[in-house]
Copies of this chain bind each other. A is one copy, B any other.
Amino acid sequence: MSILVVGSVALDSVQTPFGKVENALGGSATYFSVAAGFFAPVNLVAVVGEDFPERHIDFLKKRGIDLKGLKIKSGSTFRWKGKYGYDLSNPKTIYTHLNVFEKFSPKIPPEYERSDIVFLANIDPELQGYVMKQVKKPGLTACDTMNYWITNKKKALLKTLKKVDMFLLNEAEARELTGESNLLKAGKAILSFGPKKIIIKKGEHGVLLFSSHSVFSAPAYLLETINDPTGAGDTFAGGLLGYLRKSGRFSESEIRKGIIYGTIMASYAVEDFSVRKLGNISYSDMQKRYYSYRQLTRY
């Protein structure tokens, strides 16, 4: 069985102090799928407009991503434009044109209903709940979110959280959701909302995993070059859940190992704009970096 991801496929225009791209392939479901595709078959559910370039479709197909669930609607593709400063965090949004994504109502194709792992990328928590109703007993359900939903749809988000096994969010979101600045306290508080595994992403400072009886802290992979952090979180999720699908076991120790694979995939994502670098590395490159990470962290 495959991994199902529901999220956005977008055309991103991104500027950082180290370069820029216009209308490049982006979106949460894109980054997730490309990363997860290194480990397992991925079924993607998203929507794009008629302007979506054929070459992006070809790229995703060549990565082995099943696109039966990618609807092409009349209108334009979701477009985002953002600009990062030297700290490469908190980009300034120049525009967000939701376009066809505004009316996105994810219909899961019958072939996708039985998925071993389901990833609900950052979309309206009501839509996340709608997807949950359509899938049949997945082995593992994970979801992401963003500050907008915490501020504006907290009730729906909390309802979704009661039904998922794993929740991924960044440190600012964890603080906003709990009103708690200390991340150890915030992580424990979020566990009480339902999910058995909470993953707090700290960007260049790594990742924390909270389970009922333990906490895991993994530093980031060290890089000399970081060009564009866009998509790092979704790429991380793709590496993690891809690894878990390949492993077939969702134990604490496998999730910890998956977090390292997610960290490695995210390290490639930020080295170049869009999915350029992710599209240019092999499974064996990735394995080498995994062993290099072991050298970086073992004692």
Contact = CB atoms under 8 A, between A and B. Distances in A.
B182 A224 contact: yes
Among A226, A260, A299, max chain B CB count under 10 A is at A299
Nearest to A220: B217
Nearest to A299: B256
A296 interface: yes
Contact of A222 (B181, B183, B222, B298): B183
Contacts of A299: 216, 218, 253, 256-257, 259-260
Given A205-B205, A299-B259, A222 B217 contact: yes
Copies of this protein in the assembly total: 2
A297 B297 contact: yes
Interface of A: 86, 181-185, 205-206, 208, 214-220, 222-224, 226, 253, 256-257, 259-260, 295-299
Contacts of A208: 222
A250 to B, nearest CB: 15
B219 A206 contact: yes
A216 B182 contact: no
Contacts of A183: 222
Contacts of A215: 222, 296
A158 B75 CA distance: 63
A64 B205 CA distance: 37
A238 to B, nearest CB: 19
A224 B188 CA distance: 11
Nearest to A260: B299
Contacts of A224: 182, 184-185
